[in-house]
Amino acid sequence: MKKKILTFSQSINEAMIQAMAYDKSVFTYGIAVDKTGHVFKSTEGILKKFKSKRIFDTPNSEQAETAFALGASLSGKLRPVLIHHRVDFMPYSFDQLINWISLWSFKSARKSFAPLVIRTIVGRGWGQGPQHAKTLHSMFSYLPGLKVVMPSSASEAKGMLLSSIMSDDPVIFIEYRSLYNTKELVPQKKYFIDIDKPRQRLKGNSLTLVAAGASVLTSLKAAEILYKQRGLKCDLFDLRSISNMKLEAIFSSLKKTKRLVVVEDGWENLGYSSEIITKVAEQGLNLKKPPIRVCWPNSHVPMSTPLEKKFYFDENDILNACLKVLNLRE
């Protein structure tokens, strides 16, 4: 399969165009999706190619936009892709998500489906402050009936978005603005990824490292430093989905390494990191050291650039956690 170098946002754009060409029921909409900037260039060229019936601008009303997605998906003839520019304001649409979208298939005994995707963006970094830098992924993953996915790279983003659009279940597709300019070789043809199955990014024997979304890239940097400085390799898993986590491969890894570090771009309380550690405990795995989580402080995100740098963890914080679980640092 031929590949080319694409940025994360270009791979999202390519997935959108290929999905819309493949299936005429797919359309996309949201605030300024057809305007200058095109959602960080992820919707660029779609209006010219597919015209205004399949991509259009909407008023600023999260409730109305989300309810429209549900209604369109229930027609049995449409697959909407709604773009919420900021995940911070998706709670405005919680009634639609909690009382309708997440439980529609359940109420119909899987005889009726709501095949919709909500693309939403985390504005982590660059001075966004407390109102534009939250993730909220744990809120969505708490709900049965919603799939919540967090792509970590350009090639993952394309395959995962195509799979999400073709899914009969509603999907919350969380994108990190900090990843939009990262580049990777991406297959040119359309392809699909099992969004429920974690991907093993690295193999090793020293410890098991687990992450999702943007924290995968930071974890890769930490693992590289660990190998260069100490000659130690780790198993690194990219969760992909945090709502229906299939952890068998991670359990198998832990039987070998007996040491666990979970990295999460989000608050420590009730996140996927605590869920994974709970499930590891339920397995009765005999770890050599207590698991360690690398998360955000239990505080809102500061707007000041120096404070923001202290708030977010980086590869050195992950490295220190790895060294601690390996008994190489206090």
Tokens of 128: 């966004």
Place of tokens 């549900």: 70
User: Which one of 38, 132, 137, 300 is the catalytic residue?
Assistant: 132
Residues 62 and 30: their CA atoms lie apart, in Å, by 9
Residues 100 and 146: their CA atoms lie apart, in Å, by 11
Q: Which amino acid is at 285?
A: L
Provide, for the chain, the percentages of residues in helix, strand and coil under a 3-state DSSP scheme, each rounded to the nearest 5: 40, 20, 40
**Per-position DSSP letters for 141-187, written without gaps between them:** HTSTT-EEE---SHHHHHHHHHHHHH-SS-EEEEEEGGGTT-EEEEE
Residues 304 and 308: their CA atoms lie apart, in Å, by 6
Beta-carbon contacts of residue 43 (< 8 Å; ≥ 6 apart): 13, 16, 28, 33, 34, 55, 83
Closest C-alpha to 173, from 241, 105, 263, 114: 241
Residues 292 and 210: their CA atoms lie apart, in Å, by 11
38 is a catalytic site residue: no
Distance of CA 84 to the CA centre of its chain: 14
Query: Hey, CA dihedral for 264, 265, 268, 272, is it positive or negative?
Result: negative
Active site residues: 132
